[in-house]
Amino acid sequence: MRGSMMESRVKTVLVVEDSPSQAITIQLFLEQSGFKVLWAPDGSVGVLMADEYLPDVIVMDVEMPVMDGFEACKAIKENPRTAGIPIVMLTVRSEADCLIKGMELGIDDFIPKDPFSTMVLMGTLSQLGLFDQGQEARGADEKA
């Protein structure tokens, strides 16, 4: 019984997004799928929160004030405590140099900001192994 309790630990997602409305949309979608969600309004706060809370994954916007997503990713990947946390970037940018820069920094996936981005995000989180058994089904049931 204890083993199954540990396996079903609620996974934490840190959302780093300067737009409160977009952050809330992502947060509600993730919470409905069984995730605990933390929110940082810019890259600088995101770096601090990543180190403090050690989330299971970070979903981050690219273009933000104070510190953009690339700078934040670099800082997170250079910190031994946070270097192993997967990072998924949400962006309206699709230029090759943007994608290459992200890959060089260790970003795990890029998701375009569009009406389907939450569905793509769930697929990415599934590929990263962040769903417990039954969690994917629960999220799918709630969307149906």
pLDDT at 72: 96
Number of domains in the chain: 1
* Residue 128 · residue 57 · CB < 8 Å: yes
In a domain, 137, yes or no: no
In a domain, 3, yes or no: no
Q: Which domain holds residue 41?
A: 9-126
Buried b or exposed e, range 103-130, using 16+ CB within 10 angstroms: eebbbbbbbebeeebbebbbebbeeeeb
Pairing mode, if any, of strands 36-40 and 12-16? parallel
In a domain, 1, yes or no: no
Q: Where is pLDDT greater, at 11 or 99? A: 11
In a domain, 26, yes or no: yes
pLDDT 10s digits, 36-56: 999 999 999 999 999 999 999
pLDDT exceeds 80 at position 119: no
Average pLDDT, the chain: 82
pLDDT at 51: 98
φ, ψ at 64 (rounded to 5°) = -145, 155
State percent of the chain over pLDDT 70: 78
At residue 128 the predicted structure's pLDDT band, cuts being 50, 70 and 90, is confident
In a domain, 140, yes or no: no
pLDDT 10s digits, 40-99: 999 999 999 999 999 999 999 999 989 999 999 999 999 999 999 999 988 876 667 777
pLDDT exceeds 60 at position 144: no
In a domain, 50, yes or no: yes
φ, ψ at 73 (rounded to 5°) = -60, -45
Q: What is the CATH number of the domain that holds 115?
A: 3.40.50.2300
pLDDT at 81: 98
- Return the bridge partners of 38, or none: 14
In a domain, 138, yes or no: no
pLDDT at 87: 95
